[in-house]
Amino acid sequence: MAKFNFLTESEVERLKEYLVGYVSLPFGSDIPGEIVERLIARARGAKYVGKRANRPEPDMILMKNNAPVNYQIKTEKKSSSRVSALSDIGKSEDIITARIDVMADFNLKKLPKNDDELGTLVLRSYVDNVVKKYNWHKLAILLRYKQNNEFLYFEEDAIPYDPADYVWEPTSVGERHKKRNIIAYEKDANGQAVKKRKKFKWNAGTTLLYVFHDIPTNADYFEIKKKHIDEDAFRLFMEEQGYPSDEEIQAWILDAIETNEDIDRQLMPDIAVSNAVVKVSGEIHPKKSRDALLKTIWATPCVRDVEDKDLVLLSDTKAKKKLSQLGLWNGAKTS
């Protein structure tokens, strides 16, 4: 029997069931970050806060010893299907942890020219305006491998980093929007940068702070296998439930636009569904007709808010019975 260090065996089994339920749905091939947050919170019996990705509020609140523990949940998918989860044990992974707008946070008219000075402001803002202000306790990290068939999960304390412990330099790695990009290394005993120990990366254009996390040797490892769900039968089942409505479809599309940085904000918030452009996997142009909109939704791998009712369909007893009648659920325990 597998031994888990951060999750209990029952929590892993529930999380596996939810992940199987979601990745098997016919409208998507990946799992949006907000859905990962919701699934982890549900599997652990925690309160899901429900803010969007990279917002400073904790994602879930878990009661331990009658005291609330605030978690930020982070996830990352390996783009290569050849990389196995177990091969990454002991390595590091850079993960978007927060948005740090130095100009606004310190009321600056321009950024400091000195990289160490700029990096110090980034970390000061992260510690004071994020970790301490929103009372972060823990980071929970789920790494996804081989088309969401393998997973690593681990946790670490939310650290109030000391800017004096790091050296910042300019870098072109991960450069976006042709804006200033800086990277930090830990200092050795002599105050010199240890170049093998990347710790932070920040971009002035996106204001995103990346933190390099060490993947511990005792990270929880588990696998799942997707189920086959017939797309036409599933769509029929969903429509028989009266879901989704035109209003819900419109809400999803508008929300997807609002959360996408590449969409012109002038199009918000009164854009009509008929001329919306949703950049999820390429450009998707919804049509006026409901059938065409439904087709778009089924083909969209990153539509927000669809997960909750869909996962209830796959986990609720009555829904499983209905799915079984349609040949979409065999009653077997998920693996």
Between these two residues, 329 and 176, which has the higher pLDDT value? 176
- Full 3-state SS string of the chain: CCCCCCCCHHHHHHHHHHHHHHHCCCCCCCCCHHHHHHHHHHHHCCEECCCCCCCCCCCEEEEECCEEEEEEEEEEECCCCCCCCHHHCCCEEEEEEEECCHHHHCCCCCCCCCHHHHHHHHHHHHHHHHHHCCCCCEEEEEEEECCCCEEEEEEEECCCCCHHHEEEEECCCCCCCCCCEEEEEEECCCCCEEEEEEEEEEECCCCEEEEEEECCCCCEEEECCCCCCCHHHHHHHHHHCCCCCHHHHHHHHHHHHHCCCCCCHHHCCCCCHHHCCEECCCEECCCCCHHHHHHHHHHCCCCCCCHHHHHHHHHCHHHHHHHHHCCCCCCCCCC
- The Cα–Cα gap between 123 and 56 comes to 14
- φ/ψ of 121, rounded to 5, equals -65, -40
Q: Which residue has the higher pLDDT, 170 or 249?
A: 170
Q: Write down the pLDDT at residue 328.
A: 42
Q: Of 12-26, 83-97, 205-219, 300-314, which range is least confident?
A: 300-314
Count of C-beta atoms within a 10 Å radius of residue 111: 17
Classify the C-alpha dihedral 271-53-83-202 as positive or negative: positive
Phi and psi at residue 60, in whole multiples of 5°?
Answer: -145, 155
Average confidence (pLDDT) over 89-94: 94
Q: 185 with 166: CB under 8 angstroms?
A: yes
| Mean per-residue pLDDT, 67-83 | 91
The pLDDT of residue 259 is 52
Answer with the residue of higher pLDDT: 10 or 263.
Answer: 10
pLDDT on residue 117: 97
pLDDT at position 23? 81
pLDDT grade, residue 237 (50/70/90)?
low
Mean pLDDT highest for which of 29-33, 286-290, 291-295, 328-332?
Answer: 29-33
- How is residue 324 written in tokens? 């079984």
User: For residue 127, what pLDDT is reported?
Assistant: 97
Q: Which residue has the higher pLDDT, 80 or 248?
A: 80
| Mean pLDDT, rounded, for 108-135 | 96
> What's the pLDDT score for residue 7?
97
Residue 252: pLDDT band with limits 50, 70, 90 = low
Instruction: Map 90-133 to HEC letters.
Output: CCEEEEEEEECCHHHHCCCCCCCCCHHHHHHHHHHHHHHHHHHC
Q: What is the mean pLDDT of residues 35-52?
A: 88
What digits encode the pLDDT tens for the residues 263-305?
Answer: 444 444 333 333 333 333 333 343 334 444 444 444 443 333 3
Angle among Cα 23, 25, 27 to the nearest 5 degrees reads 105
pLDDT at residue 294, as a whole number: 46
What is the pTM for the complete model shown? 0.72
Q: Is 39 in contact with 148 (CB distance < 8 Å)?
A: no
- Mean pLDDT highest for which of 2-6, 162-166, 297-301? 162-166
pLDDT confidence of residue 226: 84
Model confidence at 111: pLDDT above 50: yes
Residues 200-223: tens digit of each pLDDT: 999 998 899 999 999 999 999 999
- The torsion angle over the Cα atoms of residues 245, 263, 310 and 11, rounded to 10 degrees, is -160
